């Protein structure tokens, strides 16, 4: 695969400027196809057709309305409808209100409190490297995943903990691969022998241009270049990994850097108007410097992943594929909303697998930055007053960072941080990136450097 070099003063490639592997053609058409359906009082109780970002916003509002009755929600992408879970009880009035708001209401057995309690039990008793869990509102259970390293006593411990949660509370599935963060040596953005992908250009709190990438990339090296062996163009300002997230804010060294809010798909660019919360069932796209463009669905929110380097919480779980070097790359919607930053997972883009993403909204809040239509975007490229690809991408992008704070089926999966970062100095079996293989643990099971 050929890779394009990121121009030094423009460094605008939200995913390293690679060829889009033929997927771009499915991304942009029909970007605004789903519309709000029906407005008459007679149709008020019928589920409405919604865009995924609007469904996420509605889910957050209904979570507050329903209170303890709320048991998660998800987006039915086929029907373009929000499905809200409720537990049985004296809740007829609020259920009717939820239906009038346009959601499909479904009765389930497990309350959100019970599911969150189960996730806390997993955290306390089964924080085993190679495992993950997230609340799956479609099954109304906790989805527990174990990679190929979880065997013997560790498998028995996990299975016993899940059984102890009670019947109908959780399901366990095995993954053929191993959970690892997706940094590697090669192309895109480079630091200390590691290769990652740029996620989204943002404006730092002081108005200077910067970008978001994965936190495990940010702790791998302080300075990053747009060419292997090239001069640094950006310096890490903040980085979180492991612990409560996997994100880093990296400031461009040149304050005049042109950093428009867009994702480079190789043969075209997609303007990014703002950030939005993910919704379970939502279709999403990922861009990365190794594998280009890939798509899939959101499977779970507030996921906990036990990497070899430590536990990371608050992630988005998807079935979108990724490979080493894609770390930090952008997860977004077809209509230009930033959703996540590639963290890690298992498998590859040949056999598939699970991939986890840092929510962009959480990262922006933590580092005090803004993106796209939220505040104009650094170095907006002077595209006049609304030109396509302008850093501003409009002045109020749909769903720009205000899609609520709960999202569909968000499980309080704990706040992790155990086993924080055995950085080593190159990790045996750590690929060919020499002695700078970032955070990869000593046995090569972490970063593949």
Please name every residue paired with 295 in a beta bridge, in sequence order, or none if there are none: 285
**Distance (Å, whole) CA 219 – CA 329:** 16
176 C-beta neighbours (distance < 10 Å), count: 11
DSSP 239: E
166 Cβ neighbours under 8 A, 6+ residues apart? none
Tokens read off for 131: 């495992």
First to last CA, the chain: 19
Set 127, 197, 216, 302: catalytic member: 216
Active site residue: 57, 246, 326, 412, which one? 246
**Full DSSP string of 189-255:** EEETTEEE---EEEE-TTS-EEEEE-HHHHTT-SEEESSTTPPEEEEEEEEE-SBS--EEEEEESST
Q: Is the peptide bond before 242 cis (omega within 30 degrees of 0)?
A: yes
Nearest residue to 232 (alpha-carbon basis) of 208, 215, 207, 257: 257
∠ CA 11-14-19, nearest 5°, is: 100
Whether 246 is a known active-site residue: answer: yes
CB atoms within 10 A of CB 420: 15
**Is 3 a residue of the active site?**
no
Closest CA to 95 of 48, 62, 46: 62
Q: What is the 3-state secondary structure (H, E, C) of 20-47?
A: CCCCHHHCCCCCCCCCCCCCCHHHCCCC
Choose the catalytic residue: 56, 111, 289, 327. 327
Q: Mind telling me the catalytic residues?
A: 216, 246, 327
């Amino acid at each position: 695969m050929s890779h394009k070099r990121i121009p030094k003063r423009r460094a605008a490639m939200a995913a390293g400027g690679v060829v889009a592997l033929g997927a771009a053609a499915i991304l942009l058409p029909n970007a605004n196809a789903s519309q709000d359906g029906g407005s008459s009082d007679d149709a008020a109780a019928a589920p409405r057709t919604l865009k995924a970002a609007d469904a996420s916003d509605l889910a957050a509002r209904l979570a507050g309305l329903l209170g303890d009755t709320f048991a998660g929600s998800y987006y039915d992408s086929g029907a373009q409808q929000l499905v809200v879970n409720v537990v049985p009880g004296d809740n007829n009035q609020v259920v009717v209100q939820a239906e009038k708001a346009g959601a499909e209401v479904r009765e389930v057995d497990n309350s959100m409190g019970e599911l969150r309690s189960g996730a806390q039990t997993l955290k306390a008793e089964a924080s085993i490297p190679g495992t993950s869990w997230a609340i799956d509102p479609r099954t109304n259970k906790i989805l527990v995943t174990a990679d190929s390293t979880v065997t013997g006593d560790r498998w028995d411990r996990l299975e016993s903990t899940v059984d102890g949660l009670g019947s109908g509370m959780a399901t366990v599935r095995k993954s053929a691969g191993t959970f690892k963060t997706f940094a590697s040596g090669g192309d895109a953005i480079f630091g200390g022998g590691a290769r990652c992908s740029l996620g989204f250009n943002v404006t730092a709190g002081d108005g200077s241009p910067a970008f978001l990438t994965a936190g495990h990339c940010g702790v791998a090296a302080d300075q990053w270049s747009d060419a292997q062996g090239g001069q640094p163009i950006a310096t890490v300002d903040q980085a979180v990994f492991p612990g409560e997230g996997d994100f880093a804010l990296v400031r461009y060294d040149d304050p005049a850097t042109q950093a428009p809010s867009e994702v480079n798909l190789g043969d075209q660019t997609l303007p990014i108007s703002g950030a939005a919360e993910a919704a379970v069932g939502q279709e999403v796209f990922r861009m990365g410097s190794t594998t280009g463009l890939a798509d899939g669905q959101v499977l779970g929110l507030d996921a906990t992943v036990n990497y070899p380097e430590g536990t990371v919480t608050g992630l988005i779980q998807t079935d979108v594929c990724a490979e080493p070097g894609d770390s930090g790359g952008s997860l977004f919607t077809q209509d230009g909303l930033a959703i996540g930053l590639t963290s890690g997972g298992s498998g590859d883009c040949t056999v598939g697998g699970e991939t986890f993403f840092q929510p962009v909204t959480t990262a922006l809040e933590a580092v005090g930055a803004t993106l796209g239509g939220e505040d104009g975007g650094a170095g907006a490229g002077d595209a006049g007053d609304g030109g396509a690809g302008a850093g501003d991408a409009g002045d109020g992008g749909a769903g720009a960072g205000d899609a609520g704070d709960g999202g569909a089926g968000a499980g309080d999966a704990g706040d992790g941080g155990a086993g924080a970062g055995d950085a080593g100095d190159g990790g045996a079996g750590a690929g060919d990136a020499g002695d700078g293989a970032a955070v990869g643990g000593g046995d090569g099971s972490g970063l593949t450097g």
